[in-house]
Amino acid sequence: MGATDFDILRSFVRKYCGFRTTTHSLIMSSFDELESSAMDEVRSEFSLPIYQVGPLIPHMLLHASPSLPDYFSWLDSRPKSSVLYVSLGSFLPISASQMGEIVAGLADSGIPFLLVSRDSKLCRPDGIEGSAGLVVPWCDQLRVLRHPSVGGFLTHCGWNSTLEALYAGAPMITFPLFWDQEPNSKLVVEEWGIGRRLKEKDENLTSELTASKVKRFMDLDDEESKCMRDRSEKMKEICWDALNAGGSSSQNLQGFLDQITNKCC
């Protein structure tokens, strides 16, 4: 969590002036081990209890056994860690020109990819002509990220997507679009060391740049890529430990429930 995050939080507090006096606790979707120093700063801003109970993502649904869509058969046919999963969100869609450069770069990279897009011109049963890509209008993101053939995630760095990637142990190529996505990207790349930026601020987004970044990112023999993937696996273990019985998020949730129970008694 960087300075921008604190500005957002303080703005929220100023706008809702009754927050400090009417709220008895604050629940957050992160977990203690992920942002310990930042949370110390946040707690210093408030006198109320703060409980980190995350990652708040639908991980419990992974234990269900639904009939899987056809794109999972496509994933099953790909080698381990060979596919780049691409989803840039739906709330703030990128421009048509930017998407065009990204799609062209993905196609030119030669890397198999699964792209989520609602663009009917891209969503064809045979994927994108001349490429190893498949395009779908929607997918079960967490289950896809956990699939053995998926070796990385090109993401806008929304917080939920970031948490799902952490849970799955998926390294990220970041392409932030708005608000908290930029500091989230900074965490992924600079603090946690589990991703790379699609482009730097002084670079123009082109298909050539996209293809180059994607090929290097998905090169499993690249030493930097190996280190990044090792760190992603370690972050996954920390994330799972937080959720397990006796983990920090499990204990924090119990602490919150105890507080509610005590207030009701």
Three-state DSSP state, 235: helix
**Contact assessment for residue 182 and residue 8, using Cβ atoms and an 8 Å cutoff:** no
Q: Is the pLDDT of residue 1 over 50?
A: no
Nearest to 159 by CA among 143, 174, 175, 180: 180
Residue of 264 and 236 predicted with greater confidence? 236
pTM for the model: 0.88
**Contact assessment for residue 155 and residue 162, using Cβ atoms and an 8 Å cutoff:** yes
The CB density around residue 239, as the number of other CB atoms within 10 Å, is 25
**Contact assessment for residue 260 and residue 56, using Cβ atoms and an 8 Å cutoff:** no
Q: Is the pLDDT of residue 17 over 60?
A: no
Q: How far is CA 37 from the centre of its chain?
A: 21
State how far the Cα of 56 lies from the Cα of 107, in Å rounded to an integer.
34
CATH entry 3.40.50.2000 includes domain 72-231: yes
B/e letters for 88-111, b = 16+ CB within 10 Å, e = fewer, are bbeeeebeeeebebbbbbbbbbeb
Give pLDDT tens digits for 169-212: 999 999 998 888 999 999 999 999 999 999 998 899 999 999 99
Residues above pLDDT 90, as percent of the chain: 63
The per-residue pLDDT for 21 is 61
Cα angle at 31 between 30 and 37, to 5 degrees? 95
State how far the Cα of 19 lies from the Cα of 74, in Å rounded to an integer.
49
Domains of the chain, by residue range, sit at: 1-54, 72-231
